[in-house]
Structures are given as C-alpha cells and as structure tokens.
Structure 1
C-alpha cells in the first residue's frame, strides 16, 4: 500500500508503562472496530509501517496500544510523535453537509469588526483545540477555531465570518491592522 492510501487518525503522544505500550491521541472519532484487522500503521520516513496489535483500550480521545515487537519503553519511545494511520477505505463516512474544522482550509476569513483577513492556509489540531493559520499582511496569524469565534460559514462561497478575540491581531501585527 502507498502513503496516499492512508489517512492520519492521530499521533503517538507518549509511552505507557514499561512494556512498550504507546498512548495515541486520536484526532478522528475512531472506534475500536477500525482495528479489527489487528493492524495499526505508523508513519516512519513518510511510509506507513504496519504493527500488529497485541492489546488495545480506548478512553475518549486517547487509545492505548500494545504492539507486537515493541517490548520495552525504549522501543516505544522511538515511535513517540509519529502519525498513526489507517487505510482510507476504513475512513468513517460523513453525512452530507457535515463539515469539520479541517475542511475550512482554503476558506476566506472575515472578521466582524476588522474586515477581510485572508485565506486559511492550514488547520492544525492540538489536544482539545483546532487552530487556523491565516496570512494577514504577509504575517502568519493563528486563529483558534471554536463555536464562540466562528459566527457563520458560507460553504458555497467558502467564506468564514469570525469574531476575532480582542487584541489577537495586535499580538501578531502590532497596530498595523
């Protein structure tokens, strides 16, 4: 299988215990049934490498995996920070019209008071927080994405109207905006 046949569901955030178990932060709502083939793929050097699952357990947006041939904390530590992948054919189907924060890449952002800001070049996911990267006057501005900040989304014209937190633009741009 090629790298383009996979999608990222999260990353290995840390080791767990002394026997080589790893903790995976899940960016997608993934059920343990997706691992029914008993295989977890880890991105190493840009390629999906299969690891056979010996045991697993889930807690909200975190999963714990014991992997075959990873038998010590030192071996598990080599995997920390690596993306966890599953085949695209196992990707959960979304309902028509369902939009995620990651889908906002390419949308044009307008603030209710400051006006037009720019396009979202990338959406990053951090634990419990999505952040959009927007180029404003050739400066990268990181905008948190949540229901309090996003006021409206126009899917047809790919426009996002936000209420920018007070002082956020000043941090990045000074008084230039």
Structure 2
C-alpha cells in the first residue's frame, strides 16, 4: 500500500497496561464512522498492515486498541508516535454540501488589508480550533479559522477571504 492510496486518521499516543494495548489519538474528524478492522501504521516510511483484535472508541477523539501480534507492552512501545492510515476506499462518504476546514487546503487566501497572501498548504487541528498555514514572503503565516476571521469562502474560485487581526502578519514577516 502506498501513502497516496491512503488517508491519515491519527497516531498512537501511548501504551496502556502490559498486554499490548495502545491509545490512538484521531485527527480525522469523523473517526466514529471509520471501519477500523485493520489499519496501516507508518514505520520507517513504509505502511505496515495491522489487524485490530479489539477496540474501544471514546468521545474525546481517542480510542484504545489491541492489534493482533502486539501482545506485550514492549511490542506496543515501538508503535508510540507512529502515524495511522486507512485506504482511500474506506473513507466515509460525505453528504452533499458538507464542507470541512481541511477542504481549504489549496485555497488562495486574500486578506482585506494585506491583499493576496498565498495558498493554504496545511490545516492543523488543535483541541480549541483549526489553524491555516500559508507561505507568505518566505515565511509561514498561521492564523485561526473561525467566523471572526473568515469573511467569505468561494468554492468555485477556491478563494478564502479573511480579515486578519491587525499586526498578525507583521509578527511572522518582521522577525
């Protein structure tokens, strides 16, 4: 399985107990809808399949998992901080009209004051908010995605119009 044939869902945060149980933190927003009977774990740049023996999902974007052949804490510790993927064929279908902040990757950002900033290269999800990352004047500018900042989203032209707080761009550019 190749990385481009998969989508990222989260990573292993820690072990639990002595029998190989691990905690997964999901960065995929609809993780409850995922089919998790098997996953791919990225190890040394390769995707290795792991089959789920048992799992329990929690409401705080985490879940506890036992994988086949991972039956000791020592084996489980080798998986900590490893990224987890699923094949694109297992990606849940969206309802028509659904739009997620992650969909803004590739959109051109236009600020009311500074004008065109560039293209969003990444959308990071933090517990309290989503953050857009835009390369601007050879620096990485980051700003929150929320109703106070977003003026409009034009899906046809892939343009995100924003009103960034005064001085925010200066923090990144005038270091």
Q: Which runs of 5+ in 1 are unaligned?
A: none
* Alignment length (residue pairs): 173
Structure 2 contact 21–73 (Cα < 8 Å) conserved: yes
Q: Which residue of 2 aligns with 1:52?
A: 51
Using the TM superposition, give the Cα deviation of residue 124 of structure 1 relative to its aligned residue in structure 2, in angstroms.
2.9
Q: Which residue of 1 aligns with 2:32?
A: 31
- Alpha-carbon separation, structure 2, partners of 1:149 and 1:27: 23
- Alpha-carbon separation, structure 2, partners of 1:106 and 1:114: 19
Q: Which residue of 2 aligns with 1:107?
A: 107
Using the TM superposition, give the Cα deviation of residue 119 of structure 1 relative to its aligned residue in structure 2, in angstroms.
1.5
Secondary structure at the aligned position of 2:165 is classed as coil
Deviations 1:65-123 (A, max 9, x none): 01122223332222122111112111101123322222211211112333322221222
Cα RMSD between the aligned structures?
2.2
- Alpha-carbon separation, structure 1, partners of 2:35 and 2:42: 17
Deviations 1:46-65 (A, max 9, x none): 32212222211111211110
Superposition TM-score, scaled by structure 2 size = 0.85
Q: Which moved more, 1:117-126 or 1:48-57?
A: 117-126
Structure 2 contact 15–21 (Cα < 8 Å) conserved: yes
Regions of 4+ moved over 4 Å: none
- Alpha-carbon separation, structure 2, partners of 1:81 and 1:69: 19
- Alpha-carbon separation, structure 2, partners of 1:151 and 1:131: 16
Structure 2 contact 34–90 (Cα < 8 Å) conserved: no
Q: In the superposition, relative to structure 1, how do residues 13 and 145 fare at CA in structure 2: closer, same or farther (>3 Å)?
A: farther
Using the TM superposition, give the Cα deviation of residue 166 of structure 1 relative to its aligned residue in structure 2, in angstroms.
3.9
Q: Which runs of 5+ in 2 are unaligned?
A: none
Q: Which residue of 1 aligns with 2:13?
A: 13
Structure 1 contact 112–162 (Cα < 8 Å) conserved: yes
